[in-house]
Amino acid sequence: MKKLKARKDAIVARAGVEKSLRSLTNCEVIEGHARFTAPHTVSVNGKTLISGGSSSTWEAARDSSRPECAIFHQFVHDGRRFRAAAPFDSRGSAVGLEFAQMYRRFGSEVTVIEQAPRLLPHEDEDISAAVLDILAKEDIQVALNAHNVAVKATDQGLNVHNFTGTHLLVAAGRVPNTDDLGLDAAGIATDERGYIHVDEDCATSARGVWALGDCNGRGGFTHTSYNDYEIVAANLLDKDSRRISDRIYCSAVYIDPRWHAPE
């Protein structure tokens, strides 16, 4: 597991991208937290930029004073062995299933707890059924229609929805990092979840301000974030009208459909 995590860290490391950016002519890389202080002024080390991004829903919730969050904090693990995986939304569901199968193949007993009536509720029903069959063949337990899920500490570890285990992986999706950007000072509107409202050109409600990537809620993937940049650049620099609705979304659930019989 340590080797796998080290390889993953090396793959997702920013060093290569950052080195490339720093080598570009007329491109300055700025590290810091940006906040609007006026409609067209962003303060970050005296520079001007906007960058939102997102955090996992768990990261946003773990600081709550609610007692159930304290229990989650006690048992959420950085990735070795777990008993229960609990996906809650479309993005969370995919990640939860990917980790569930991975840890099962590492030898953990795994239970997936899903509040929807089927796995991957935003996929076609036949896909959900096929994935359920794949997981069942690998002895991964699945509990559907799981509402009002409670987590309780036990002498052996924890109890989640009447399933016992040692560790809990919470796959609850993501929330935007927009609560501390000073958006009110710039007159930038957000929805009830904190995503920045943008039009088809990624323009916000504030004239001259665009929001790209996770923070605008119009994709949430690396490739859609990059396409946001392509849309803004094409409209501003090339006079080429490009729109969010023009792109064809693609995504994948990274589970292995091949059943590996126990040796």
27-53+177-238 against 57-174: fold identical: yes
Beta-bridge partners for 210: 203
Give the pLDDT band of residue 133 (cuts 50, 70, 90).
Answer: very high
* Residue count (the chain): 263
Query: Using alpha carbons only, how large is the chain's radius of gyration in Å?
Result: 21
Beta-bridge partners for 47: 44
Summarised one tens digit per residue, pLDDT across range 221-239 is 888 988 999 999 999 999 8
Residue 158 to residue 156: CA distance in whole angstroms: 7
What is the predicted pLDDT for the residue at 47?
A: 67
What is the predicted pLDDT for the residue at 89?
A: 43
Q: Which CATH superfamily is domain 57-174 in?
A: FAD/NAD(P)-binding domain (3.50.50.60)
Amino acid at 183: L
Evaluate if pTM is beyond 0.75.
no
SS3 70: helix
Residue pair 117/145 in contact by the 8 Å Cβ criterion: yes
189, 227, 215: which is closest to 53 by C-alpha? 215
Summarised one tens digit per residue, pLDDT across range 96-130 is 999 999 999 888 899 999 989 999 988 999 999 99
Helix (H) / strand (E) containing 128: helix 125-137
Q: Which CATH superfamily is domain 27-53+177-238 in?
A: FAD/NAD(P)-binding domain (3.50.50.60)
Sorted by where each begins, the domain ranges of the chain are 27-53+177-238, 57-174
Assigned token pair, 142: 């699945």
Residue 249 to residue 221: CA distance in whole angstroms: 10
Give the pLDDT band of residue 51 (cuts 50, 70, 90).
Answer: low
